[in-house]
Amino acid sequence: MNSEGTLAKLLDNLLEFDEIKKGEIPVRVIGVSNRRDLRDEVEKLLESYLKDYFNRMELKLCSYSWFNCLKLKLNKKGVNDFSPIEPSNYSKVRNLCLLAALETGSDLGVFLDDDELLIDKSYFEKSEEGIYSVAEDNGTILGKAGYYKQNRPNYAHFWEIKWWPKDVSFNKAFERLMSGKPRFKATMVALGGNMVISREVMQNICFDPCVNRGEDMDYVFNARMLGYRFYFDSKLFVKHCPPKKKTPHWKKAREDIYRFLYLREKFRRHLQDERVQKVAFEEFLPYPGIFMQDDLEDRIIEHSKMMAMKYLSEGDKKGFENCMENAKIPYVYQKREDVISELIETITLWKGITQNI
């Protein structure tokens, strides 16, 4: 609350573009709190934080007052279930981003995170390129994903290399997408902080509220199952400047464990459901497919044990105990057999919301 934050740097960066200064591209800031008791305080802080920018660009803060007003308007039109957009996790916040973009009446939404900078002066031109055209695989490009330029290590922690090669497989996936032609390649991976989505897709596909981590890639999967293909654009990039995070390794691992168990279940169930289009498993390789196979439980247990030993060697009892809790997850995880039905139900709710925006 009392830190400088990263948002001002991005807004100053956006003001370097004529399209922003002239108001040709409206800017929407989704402002939420990660604590319910701080919601009012966070909104007031953001209003003060943004006051110097309101007259310099076509800017609107979309926070709790906006959200509550939106709910009242939708309620008058017969919409009374707002479960996909209550801002309580990443996916639901991303859904608010979609609504804010749709509300402007724009044909495209460009999604950026606040810890990024546009270092390509042609970024907005490139964001439009290819949209609505037919790609080399005969699919229509209605959504795109770019990449981050950042200092990303090419190594993994020793306790991750064998059982949890997340960084290595992630890097391999993007190396494949960025190499060679064509410029636009069908993709099952995406980064939520650099996505371009057409109005049609935004209206018909939402982020899965059950997903707390990896919601961007899950969104691409949702879209694909329901007839929309995303493409990786090898010329669309931003600079990622993430703040130093203090999230412990065991906590990030726990979030990933639940994420991959859920994704694997969703993939398996979609193969048995006639209501959705099918995606070949090979399209998820090398990432996140490596964590969607039969050996996922083994990977979770062995990775958790190795990480626990690391914490034990450092005398970190809490870290050790939490790793052991992670190792228990495969034994107690409740599979969601109705995951596709739940998704379709959420999509139906979503369409009821978006057709009234």
Average pLDDT of the chain? Answer: 94
pLDDT along the chain (357 residues), means of 10: 89 97 96 92 95 96 95 93 90 95 96 96 97 96 94 63 88 92 95 96 96 93 97 96 86 95 97 97 96 97 95 96 97 91 96 92
The pLDDT value recorded for residue 291 is 97
Q: Tell me which residue has tokens 């939490």.
A: 322
Q: Residue 335 has what pLDDT? A: 87
Nearest of 244, 266, 261 to residue 329 by alpha carbon: 261
- Reported as type and span, the H/E element at residue 315 is none
User: N- to C-terminal Cα distance for the chain?
Assistant: 32
Residue 140 DSSP symbol: B
Cβ contacts of 108 within 8 Å, gap of 6 or more: 127, 128, 131, 196, 197, 198, 199
Angle, vertex CA 108, rays to CA 106 and CA 114, nearest 5? 100
At residue 180, the pLDDT reads: 87
- Asked whether the CA dihedral 154, 158, 161, 163 is positive or negative, the reply is negative
- DSSP 8-state secondary structure symbol assigned to residue 357: -
> HSE (CB half, 13 Å, CA atoms) of 162?
10
Give the CA distances from residue 36 to residues 43, 65, 92, 215, in Å, rounded to whole numbers and listed in that order.
12, 14, 15, 22
Distance CA 187, CA 283 (A): 8
Integer CA distances (angstroms), 125 to 84, 131, 162, 199, 298, in order: 32, 11, 42, 17, 46
Burial profile 174-194: b = 16 or more Cβ within 10 angstroms, e = fewer: bebbeeeeebbbbbbbbbbbb
Taking the C-alpha atoms of residue 150 and residue 311, their distance in angstroms, rounded to an integer, is 28
Q: Considering only CA atoms, which of 266, 247, 256 is closest in space to residue 304?
A: 256
pTM of the model: 0.94
Q: Is cis: bond before 153, omega within 30 of 0?
A: no
**Given this model, what pLDDT does residue 152 score?**
63
- Cα separation of 345 and 37, whole Å? 30
H or E, element range at 70? helix 64-76
Q: Which of 97, 126, 105 is nearest to 215 (CA)?
A: 97
SS3 label, residue 185:
strand
Residues 79 and 326: their CA atoms lie apart, in Å, by: 39
